[in-house]
Amino acid sequence: MTAVATAPPRARRRFTGSVGLLALPIAAWLVFFFIVPFGLILWYSFGEKPSLYVTHSNDVLSLARYVEALDPAFLTTFWRTTQIAIVGTALCLLIGFPIAYWMAVKLSPRARGIVLALVLVPYWTNFLVRTIGWQITLSPEGFLSDFLNGIGVLNGPLQVLYTQQAVQLGVVYNYLPLMILPLYVALERMDHRLLEASRDLGGNWWSSFWRVTIPLALPGIMSGLLLVFVPLMGDYITPSVLGGASGSMVGQMVAGQFQRAQNWALGSAMAICLMLAILLVVILFGVLFKLIGVALARFRHLGDLDRAGAIS
């Protein structure tokens, strides 16, 4: 009896140990490629650039680099980066949600696999190569400029390249699949009979969308917003290829301090400021979606009370 009683805990311990061993590669990856680099950047940010030919020194620790990092030029570029990130994330949501809904609800299971593969096709190509493709497309001598002039839309070269609008277009194109995929997963798992039940109870398309579809898709929306916004804030390639001076972003300023100015302390302080700002936005996202979830639950409750009153 004792052996039988002690067997399940032993089995659970063996299972827990196996899971721990399987998690070791992930833990090592996080330690060596996230925690250690972050610790180095944080350490460098308290140092200084002692001379022209020395990248950094931590002999004297201070917060002076953070004060230097928050100068008007950095704040202007940071505000531009935030604008591009917010608008780009919103556009990805507005474009990606109908596509994900169409894939998950309207398409047959066989067609879903084909369309899903088409969504992932851009990621079979290098990020830099895809962005350079847009550089060629948007250039004044490119085929898009010739086409628009040919049909009479323009009377001169296309002047979009090396502007903030070009960067906006590039980030939406590059990060749109990261929005579509979590939305598709959330909508594909949704029980479609709930929409039929909503219509049977007298709900129209709009009320069914807000009371059934949006609450069930909320985890996918939250994941998509984070997957797009976080890497977009630190994007370096897209503004470097498409932005020029008028479309620069914070990632370029951080890279410039490490590569050209050789001021690792100031570049580290800028990077820490950027990461703290992203963390703050993520927390605000979490609070906002919590409030939205509460509001939607109350909205559904009020709708149920109205229907109950109508029936009585």
Q: For residue 129, what are its two tokens?
A: 């190569």
Q: pLDDT at position 7, please?
A: 47
Whole-number percent of the chain with pLDDT over 90: 53
Name 176's Cβ contacts closer than 8 Å, sequence gap at least 6: 92, 95, 96
Superfamily of domain 49-300: MetI-like (1.10.3720.10)
Question: What pLDDT was estimated at residue 236?
Answer: 93
Predicted local distance difference test score (pLDDT) of residue 3: 45
Choice between 32 and 16, residue whose per-residue pLDDT is larger? 32
Overall average pLDDT of the 161-187 stretch: 94
Q: What confidence tier does 101 reach under pLDDT thresholds 50, 70, 90?
A: very high
The residue to which tokens 């509460």 are assigned = 294
> How far from the centroid of its chain's Cα atoms is residue 106's Cα?
26
Domain ranges (residues) in the chain = 49-300
Q: Nearest to residue 208, comparing CAs of 193, 221, 195?
A: 195
How confident is the model at residue 1, as a pLDDT?
Answer: 45
- CB count within 10 Å of CB 243 equals 24
Distance CA 45, CA 64 (A): 9
In this predicted model, what pLDDT tens digit does every residue of 182-240 receive, in sequence order?
A: 999 999 888 877 777 777 677 777 777 877 888 888 889 999 999 999 999 999 999 99
Q: What is the pLDDT of residue 35?
A: 93
Q: Helix, strand or coil for residue 136?
A: helix
**Averaged pLDDT of the chain:** 86
Tell me the per-residue pLDDT of 270-305, one tens digit each, with 9 for 90 and over.
999 999 999 998 898 888 888 887 777 776 666 555
Residue 51 has pLDDT above 80, yes or no: yes
Statement: residue 12 has pLDDT above 70? no
How many whole angstroms separate alpha carbon 158 and alpha carbon 90? 26
Give the Cα separation of 276 and 14 in Å (integer): 40
pTM: 0.83
